[in-house]
């Protein structure tokens, strides 16, 4: 049974501006070490971070947790399985609260934008 859906769109140029302005302060607040390592291994570093940012936002919407609901950026980690399919791993309180749920994530991008769509299933 689907208990939540979420979607988010991020402009890649906007992400680049945020990274240029805030640098490591932003990167270390929002992304896990695994996410940063993955993005740094890719030619389009910013595009991959924008996708992960959009995924985190989509998951936050799907689980109905805004900033007042205890959502923390690093409690949602985006990785890829061996085929390249994106996956979500939860940490902290979210891991405990959604242990019996499955989160599906889909990412797509063009030259200018990325989109993420999340579904939470019980």
Whether the Cβ atoms of residue 62 and residue 5 lie closer than 8 Å to each other? yes
Number of separate domains in the chain:
1
CA distance 94 to 101: 11
Q: Which residues does 11 contact at the CB level (< 8 Å), separation at least 6?
A: 50, 112, 113
CA distance 109 to 90: 23
Whether the Cβ atoms of residue 60 and residue 88 lie closer than 8 Å to each other? no
Q: Which residue has the tokens 């932003």?
A: 26
CA distance 102 to 18: 31
- pTM as predicted: 0.94
Tens digits of per-residue pLDDT, 63-79? 986 556 678 999 999 99
Q: 23 is in which domain, residue-wise?
A: 2-121
CA distance 87 to 9: 18
Query: What CATH number is associated with residue 9?
Result: 3.90.470.20
Whether the Cβ atoms of residue 6 and residue 88 lie closer than 8 Å to each other? no
In this prediction, residue 9 has a pLDDT band, given cuts at 50, 70 and 90, of very high
CA distance 94 to 114: 25
pLDDT of residue 7 exceeding 70:
yes
């Amino acid at each position: 049974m689907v208990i939540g859906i979420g979607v988010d769109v991020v402009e890649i140029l906007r992400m680049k501006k945020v990274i240029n302005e805030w640098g490591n302060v932003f990167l270390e607040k929002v992304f896990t070490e695994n996410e940063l390592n993955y993005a740094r291994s890719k030619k389009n570093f910013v595009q991959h971070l924008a996708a992960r940012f959009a995924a985190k936002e989509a998951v936050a919407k799907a689980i109905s947790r805004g900033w007042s609901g205890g959502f923390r950026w690093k409690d949602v980690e985006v990785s890829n399985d061996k085929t390249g399919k994106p996956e979500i791993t939860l940490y902290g309180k979210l891991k405990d609260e959604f242990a019996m749920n499955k989160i599906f994530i889909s990412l797509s991008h063009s030259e200018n934008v990325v989109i993420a769509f999340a579904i939470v299933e019980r």
